Amino acid sequence: MKNIIKLIVEENPDKKRIDLYILEKCVELSRTRIKNLIIDKKLKINGKINNIPSKKISKGDNILLEIPEPKKTSLKPFKFNLDIIYQDTDLIVINKPAGISMHPGPGNYDNTIVNALMGYEKIKLSNIGDELRPGIVHRIDKDTSGLVVIAKNNLSHNNISKQFINHSIDRVYNALVWGKLRPQSGVIETLITRSSKNRQLMEVSFTKGKKAVTHYKTLKVFEGKNIPTLSLVECKLKTGRTHQIRVHMNYKGNQIVGDKKYKKKYKKLKSVNAEIEQKIIKLERQFLHAKIIGFNHPRFDKKLFFESNLPDDLRNIINVLEKSH
């Protein structure tokens, strides 16, 4: 069943473009998604199809935007055992392992969490977002593990999206970083924007970008004769920008262990316990885990709170460090 968004322009003193007006009213849709829907003739203004995203609107205009069902043919089911922590008629909470992307994209359209959900016959997802991202309210990186919430219907998608926008979602991560953070606890508040040198990376900026706030505290410092100085850190997100924790740790000069994108060139560790060195070298992803997620249930307004332990590959590193500490 397709979803129809209905809007009536009550006031429009700035004579806004239609795409920007919809973006302002429908926070769960991206500007690119809105633009593509308009170009695909899914928009009617006062009963007439409009395919020009820049068209100016007037007070009293009646707007209908059709959100099509996800194209089943474009989403091939992927046989993958999901670690479902919680599920009801409105949402699913999944403990995502490292190594799998959240949704299809360039280079991988088949082996993702969304494709895995397509393989579960009883699971239906919201269709208010991108056709290749049904149910996806937020994301964690491919090589980050931990908890994510997925919307089964548009009511949930809208409600949980607004909680993310209002920064009322609890999100806590564990990370292992090089060196000691100074101070050991605090708040990192910067702007984050796309890197001018590499469009796949993000960076801290002092002049442009989106505000990013990370509260952090050092849980334990590992240092000694035969181990490199490392810190186990808890990061609580106030905002949720792309690669936020990775960028903020890099900005502090304490890169996340195993991060292949935000790192200094690896140097051979001297006089280090061989077991620790091997575990660090062989870690195939960044040591970053989404440990806690908490939010209000979209239908019952009841607080839900979920916690996930470190997966074995990360826990084993901590065990060896504690043994050698």
What are the residue numbers of the active site?
141
Q: How far apart are CA 174 and CA 292, in angstroms?
A: 9
Task: Give first-to-last CA distance, the chain, whole Å.
Answer: 58
Residue 84 and residue 147 in contact, taking contact as beta carbons nearer than 8 Å: no
Distances 8 to 37, 57, 63 between C-alpha atoms, Å: 18, 10, 6
Q: How far apart are CA 14 and CA 12, in angstroms?
A: 6
- Residue 189 parent element (H or E): strand 185-194
Q: What is the CA radius of gyration of the chain?
A: 22
Q: How far apart are CA 219 and CA 176, in angstroms?
A: 10
By CB atoms closer than 10 A (0-12, 13-18, 19+), residue 304 is: middle
| Total residue length of the chain | 325
Residue 237 and residue 245 in contact, taking contact as beta carbons nearer than 8 Å: yes
Q: Which of 281, 275, 288, 286 is nearest to 324 (CA)?
A: 275
Q: Which of 143, 311, 174, 320 is nearest to 249 (CA)?
A: 174
Residue 62, SS3?
strand
Residue 99 and residue 112 in contact, taking contact as beta carbons nearer than 8 Å: no
Torsion sign, CA atoms 158, 159, 160, 162? positive
